[in-house]
Amino acid sequence: MNVLVIGATGFVGGAVARHLAQQGNQVTGLARSAGSADRLAADGLKPLLGDLDAGRGEVLAAAAQADAVVYAAQVMEPGAEEELTSDLVGALKGSGKTFVFTSGTGVLMQRTAGSWSEDVYAEDEPFTVEPFATGRLAAENLARAAADSGVRAFAIRPGMIWGPGDHGNVSLIYQSVAKTGAACYLGEGLNTYSHVHIDDVAHLFELVIAKGTAGGLYHAVAGETPPRWIAEAVAADLGVTARSLTPEEAADVWGEFGALILGASARSRAPRSRQELGWLPQHTDMLSMIGEPRLRRLAAS
């Protein structure tokens, strides 16, 4: 299968592209620079030099030629992701080809300021969308609706993704040691953001492309680890204390967005992925990263 991955130079898209290539697919990755193209080629991928803005026509033409298109980029400008998704599914309309939109359980996020939430959502259960993620949810819905226009379209919502090179909660808490001398969490630190390893995410993409139901939404989640537990493990690793921060202190340490993530709950379940596709995550313990040299370097920087 010829697969075009938009976002192949990123953390998620890169892992998905490499995994699909390892399964015998011919994978093309979009690259915005010659340096990025060289890195894709070194990973055994075919680079496509292009730009989603100035060169969108060329990207859409490449999408129309592929057997499957994976969107795994992040376009932050308001309305831009919906527009791009609409253009991509339009290029595939009536073709019967595959389109996979990468969303995330940030759409489920609740601002609990470090408190635990009992709310947990499976695929297609109703929820109130986090305001900053309304555009992401709109794009997700556009992608899924393309199944009514002759496209094998799907959406995948991973939880917080961890693994080599991630920038998630474990990384953020190691960084807090460099700034405060302690491993920090916000409030009670009992909020939970369901998580999943990057290798298990890539495997889910493979399964969805192979046997997903058009229009389907699939969650990727393997466990939950509250920030307080992470902070206590980091503190033990580095021989420092763990302590709570106020929202104001957290914003000083991690910035407004980092503080939001560290204090939020986004709990999810993945019954459709597990039961329909047979997806079974192999990595369930995010604390297994504790002590990695790359993380310890963050505490010293």
At the second CATH level, the architecture of 2-107+121-161+196-220 is 3-Layer(aba) Sandwich (3.40)
Listed residue (97, 107, 98, 92) closest to 139, CA to CA: 107
The Cα–Cα gap between 174 and 216 comes to: 37
Among the ranges given (47-56, 133-142, 260-269), the one the predictor scored with the smallest mean pLDDT: 47-56
Neighbours of 20 (CB within 10 A): 23
In this predicted structure, the answer to whether residue 53 has a pLDDT above a threshold of 90 is no
**Residues of the chain above pLDDT 90, percent:** 94
pLDDT in tens, 194-246: 999 999 999 999 999 999 999 999 999 999 999 999 999 999 999 999 999 99
Angle at 293 between CA 204 and CA 172, to 5 degrees: 65
Work out the average pLDDT over 165-181. Answer: 96
Q: Are strands 160-162 and 98-102 parallel, antiparallel or unpaired?
A: unpaired
* CA dist list (Å): 206 to 19, 74, 101, 137, 199: 8, 20, 13, 22, 11
Residues 34-43, mean pLDDT to the nearest whole number = 94
Tell whether the model's pLDDT for residue 26 goes beyond 90. Answer: yes
Residue 260, pLDDT above cutoff 90: yes
Model confidence band, residue 301 (pLDDT cutoffs 50, 70, 90): confident
What are the start-end ranges of the E strands in 50-207? 68-71, 98-102, 152-158, 160-162, 183-186, 195-197
Distance CA 80, CA 199 (A): 28
- Angle ∠(127,7,88) on CA atoms, nearest 5: 70
Give the integer Cα–Cα distance in Å for 168 and 258: 9
Compute the 3-state secondary structure of the chain and give helix, strand, coil in percent, each to the nearest 5.
Answer: 45, 20, 35
Looking at the chain, the domain(s) classified CATH 3.40.50.720 span 2-107+121-161+196-220
Residue 31 pLDDT exceeds 80? yes
- pTM exceeding 0.85: yes
Mean pLDDT confidence for 153-169: 95
| Residue found under tokens 């939880």 | 159
pLDDT at 30 over 90: yes
pLDDT of residue 50: 86
**Domain range 163-194+223-300, CATH architecture:** Alpha-Beta Complex (3.90)
pLDDT at 209: 98
pLDDT of residue 54: 82
Is the model's pLDDT at 263 over the cut of 90?
yes
Q: What per-residue confidence (pLDDT) applies to 85?
A: 96
